[in-house]
Structure 1
């Protein structure tokens, strides 16, 4: 199974830190956010990783190289010339590098969820990892077992979900909601540690622990 790390966002809420460094390279507990993901992916048997880059994107390959340091092979999906394509757009732009079923994780989350290289979607188009609602998203994103929970930014997807969509700037949530209406998405509630490192305050909170 291929993994994709979404790393192209501007990180507006993380300014001024992201004025000089892309958010995936911001350090949590002495290590860039994206490196936490690479280490975990390698530990769980992933060999091929796609990373999309846009804002200050050239800095990410400079730090990560070809991935051999972690025992993975990195392919960069470069959006620097066209501007960040958002989550779905970034996935569509990178589809040729992805396996039929693949894992996607947002670069700006930190968690102890273990990625599953042998996960199978069966007849679904996506499987989303949900978490308890944090303070900054009290209303949640998706309903699961009669409650609303927050999307963790981690999910398993089938290429079939994106096959008829053109390469353009495109959000993921509307595509997911349409597939949910068609009963094509499954869910899992994860109760371990998860953080959305979206602001300097949240970064300071996790680094102070």
Structure 2
């Protein structure tokens, strides 16, 4: 039992993408269910969340989303205390809503503060901690994101990291967004986001423009994560990852 349970913060796990670069593997299997060392890729971060004491996860789906729900329908039985819910964008609209659109659609299930992470990123050493949540709660930031050293497929990076701990839209040195972050619901309201909360109209909207706008206002903090991390974006990367893990 955890001595100091973290604040009750759910997680949004992004699993709605088509995975075009992973074809033909994703023609019949959604990318988050592809196997890494004998487990579905998305199960690794789900287990990491549980280790940190974060039991509730909301998963958005689109392409072959029924397979994801079927695979994890018994997740609470496998992991006592765990909770899982779904936001089925494919069923509701016939397409994926991109990252910000998907988060906005799931807001009624997420509350005022939540983790966001991708179901196709492998970061087995990342620790989801109550300390990170408590620091974020005490701040006035709209988001806190983790950056990683640039992989070969993204040499220019995405965002900078200021000496004051703020994420920078413009910087001489940029790092890659790990896809892991803590977010406040307010980022998905005006003036940062034009989509109606709950996204009843099914607007597809990317996340980066919202982050960049909030960064320019000094409302996004960041830190560098240097543990194992891989964006499993192609069959070659998946094969290499499984080879390295033995």
Q: TM-score, normalised by structure 1?
A: 0.97
**Aligned alpha-carbon RMSD (Å):** 1.1
**Equivalent position SS for 1:148:** coil
The structure 2 residue matched to 1:92, chosen from 80, 95, 104, is: 104
**Equivalent position SS for 2:46:** helix
Deviation at 1:67, TM superposition (A): 2.5
1:70 aligns with 79
Residue 211 (structure 2) pairs with residue 179 (structure 1): no
Contact 1:66 1:73 in 2 (8 A): no
Residue 116 (structure 2) pairs with residue 116 (structure 1): no
Matches within 5 A, 1:99-178: 99-111=111-123, 112-118=125-131, 119-120=133-134, 121=136, 122-145=139-162, 147-164=173-190, 165-166=195-196, 167=199, 168-178=203-213
Distance in 2 (alpha carbons) for counterparts of 1:170 and 1:76? 19
Contact 1:66 1:75 in 2 (8 A): no
Task: Describe the superposition over 1:106-157 as per-residue Cα deviations: whole angstroms up to 9, x where unpaired.
Answer: 1100012111245142200000100000000000000113520000010100
Task: Describe the superposition over 1:15-60 as per-residue Cα deviations: whole angstroms up to 9, x where unpaired.
Answer: 0000000000001111101111111111110121100010000000
Task: Describe the superposition over 1:158-184 as per-residue Cα deviations: whole angstroms up to 9, x where unpaired.
Answer: 001012332210000000000000000
Q: TM-score, normalised by structure 2?
A: 0.82
Q: In proportion to residue count, which structure has more strand?
A: 1
Q: Which has the larger radius of gyration?
A: 2
**Equivalent position SS for 2:153:** helix
